[in-house]
């Protein structure tokens, strides 16, 4: 049984990503390298989300871990 994710931040992380590069977004909220995975999820039953940047741009990655548009912020932090 998976543990519940921890709210790492009550708002998005503004991050610059590079087109074609793979990133691993932290789903559990335990990473010390937010919003990216550092392996702290071990034993939680929660795995990081791998995604490839579609463009070199600034994106807003979810910090509350409640988004329906993972890994991107959808405003869910406003109701957490």
**pLDDT bracket for residue 80 (50, 70, 90):** confident
pTM of the model: 0.94
CA distance 9 to 36: 13
pLDDT at residue 10 greater than cutoff 80: yes
Query: What are the extents of the domains in the chain?
Result: 1-80
Q: CB-based contacts of 52: which residues, under 8 Å, 6+ apart?
A: 20, 21, 22, 23
pLDDT at residue 79 greater than cutoff 90: no
CA distance 62 to 60: 7
Residues in the chain: 80
Chain segment 17-71, per-residue pLDDT in tens: 999 999 999 999 999 999 999 999 999 999 999 999 999 999 999 999 999 999 9
């Amino acid at each position: 049984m998976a543990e519940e994710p921890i709210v790492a931040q009550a708002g998005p992380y503004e991050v610059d990503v590079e087109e074609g590069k793979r990133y691993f977004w932290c789903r559990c909220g335990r990473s010390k390298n937010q919003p990216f995975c550092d392996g702290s999820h071990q034993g939680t039953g929660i795995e990081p989300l791998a995604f490839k940047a579609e463009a070199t741009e600034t994106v807003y990655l979810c910090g509350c871990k409640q988004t329906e548009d993972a890994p991107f912020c959808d405003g869910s932090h406003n109701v957490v």
